[in-house]
Amino acid sequence: MHIEDYEWVLYMHGDLSKKRESEMEAHLENCSQCLAAYVRITTGESIEPAVKKSISSQKWKQTGKPRSLRWGALAAVLVLLLFIGVSFTPSGQIVWANLRLTLEELGNTLGEVFGVGEKADVITTVDQSPQTHHGIEVKIDQIFIESDKVFYSVLIASDLITENKFNLQISNQHLDIEGENIPFISNNFVLTSPNPTSAKDEDGKPVPVSTWIMQAVTAKDYSGNEAVNVQIRIDEMVYWEKDFGAPSIIKGPWVFDFVVDGTLVTRETREFPLKVRFKEKKDEFEITQLSISPIRARINVTHLNARLLGSYVDEHGKEIKYYDTSINLTGFLIQDDKGNEAEIATRDYPYSESEESVFEFTSDVADNPYSWLKNADQVTITPYFTRLSGNSGGTGIRRNYPVDGGGFTIQLTKGGQDD
């Protein structure tokens, strides 16, 4: 029995129990049809199930049974892919300094993607040599730690990359921080692709380069550690010679060990514990924290009366409860008394949604209110909801409907709600 497409969507959003996730992952060990369906959904490509076939080049060889879903689901989302030509030295290695200048020009570095600029003190540019296997050259470019989240960018250069931006993908990879092996979360941060450009080597040959932005959630918070040991290991990549059929597996590994200062974002972050309650029909919510930093603004909100869907006992004997994560809360509008405003309406999908009914909304990278919010003494926060009546006629978050009674004035110096 095959897994329906809608369940893959629920998996990607973290809306399934851990037990069901494990069942789906185990199923893929012996079902190439479901593997192809999962890849089609995550990439948006019409990849039909087909028997494995040989790739014309002898460098790329097919492996045996398909990989578990873990390689796809735990890989962080591909948020942009850029085709640029880069120069090669006579030995065939990329001149990464030239590539970096091109990336900076396009705004395609991790720092530029998050809108903090190339010289920002919160982003670390990794001083690591690239690794090459089977003609695929990989480099870790930049990284930062934000509380219990890690973001980093990976540059991949290979002639295998074509105009089909999904034909060469990272598959089996690992992130180890201070001995903690961390699973990746998927499809929760989508950015706009920049315009492509090209440069050429001495022979006039362009070489495609893809930029991947990775995000992971850690069990521990390393944002207070000045020296954090990091290992990023990419064991395999998958390659589609055409737009359909089973992929070929390209073995690595590409391994990178380095130390990063985890406190860079924390030093510039202000956190405001809050206790602001509001209702939408029968649903009750509480804003528990507002955080602002040069990276983004975040609002944590708890669904106080979320519907319990069930529970299970994990391998350690701990009972894990999971809740309905369906809400019509679309985000928040935050305003100061000087006319500044920003939408905090990008919904992140942490595991806390299903296990604790704690939701996280963040600002868009192009609309981070940090520059004015860090100096504000008080703000007004207005929750917005979708309703059956449809579009309200406004734009942006105002297409939805504000909470009945309007917003709440918050004294940031007090961390409370005005009556």
Give residue 280's pLDDT.
92
Assess whether pLDDT exceeds 50 at residue 167. yes
Cβ–Cβ under 8 Å, residues 384 and 403: yes
Between 161-170, 199-208, 255-264, 355-364, the lowest mean confidence (pLDDT) is in: 199-208
3-class SS at 148?
Answer: coil
d(CA 357, CA 290): 17
| pLDDT band at residue 1 using 50, 70 and 90 as cut-offs | low
The mean pLDDT of 217-231, rounded to a whole number, is 93
Give residue 14's pLDDT.
65
Specify the long-range contacts of residues 7-11, CB closer than 8 Å, at least 24 apart: 8/37, 8/38, 8/41, 8/42, 9/41, 11/69, 11/73
The mean pLDDT of 35-49, rounded to a whole number, is 53
Q: Where are the beta strands (DSSP E) in 54-148?
A: 124-125, 131-133, 136-146
Q: What angle do CA 155, 159, 162 make, to 5 degrees?
A: 85
At 220, the amino acid letter reads K
d(CA 410, CA 272): 10
d(CA 346, CA 359): 11
Query: Across all residues in the chain, what is the average pLDDT?
Result: 75
The mean pLDDT of 85-99, rounded to a whole number, is 47
Assess whether pLDDT exceeds 80 at residue 107. no
Q: Where are the beta strands (DSSP E) in 304-403?
A: 308-313, 319-323, 329-335, 341-348, 358-363, 378-385, 401-402
d(CA 177, CA 152): 13
d(CA 100, CA 192): 19
392 vs 284, 334, 356, 388, CA distance in Å? Answer: 22, 19, 31, 10
Q: What is the total residue count of the chain?
A: 419
Assess whether pLDDT exceeds 50 at residue 192. no
Dihedral of CA atoms 386, 188, 332, 339 in degrees, nearest 10, equals -130
Assess whether pLDDT exceeds 80 at residue 345. yes
The mean pLDDT of 310-320, rounded to a whole number, is 84
**pTM higher than the cut 0.85:** no
226 CB burial (10 A radius; 0-12, 13-18, 19+)? exposed
Best CA proximity match to 297, nearest among 381, 226, 241: 381
Tell me the two tokens of residue 19.
Answer: 């037990």
- Which of 3-17, 81-95, 242-256 is most confident? 242-256
Assess whether pLDDT exceeds 50 at residue 22. yes
Residue-wise over 39-54: b if at least 16 C-beta within 10 A, else e? bbbbbebebebeebee
Give residue 12's pLDDT.
67
179 CB burial (10 A radius; 0-12, 13-18, 19+)? exposed
Give residue 349's pLDDT.
65
Tabulate helix, strand, coil % of the chain (nearest 5). 15, 35, 50
Tally of CB atoms within 10 A around 68: 17
| pLDDT band at residue 252 using 50, 70 and 90 as cut-offs | confident
Cβ–Cβ under 8 Å, residues 277 and 292: no
pLDDT cut 70: percent of the chain above it: 68
Give residue 44's pLDDT.
46
Give residue 353's pLDDT.
60
Assess whether pLDDT exceeds 60 at residue 58. no
d(CA 119, CA 132): 28
Continuous H helices in 225-369: 264-267, 352-356
Assess whether pLDDT exceeds 90 at residue 262. yes
> At a CB cut-off of 8 Å and minimum separation 6, what does 105 contact?
197
The mean pLDDT of 198-224, rounded to a whole number, is 74
Assess whether pLDDT exceeds 80 at residue 131. yes
Assess whether pLDDT exceeds 90 at residue 382. yes
Give residue 146's pLDDT.
92
Domains of the chain: 50-264 (2.60.40.1630), 269-417 (2.60.40)
Q: Left if phi > 0, otherwise alpha if psi is -120 to 50, otherwise beta: which for 405?
A: left
3-class SS at 27?
Answer: helix
d(CA 204, CA 206): 7
Cβ–Cβ under 8 Å, residues 171 and 253: no
d(CA 14, CA 186): 9
Q: What angle do CA 379, 351, 286 make, to 5 degrees?
A: 30
Give residue 244's pLDDT.
61
Higher pLDDT, 140 or 158: 140
Assess whether pLDDT exceeds 70 at residue 96. no
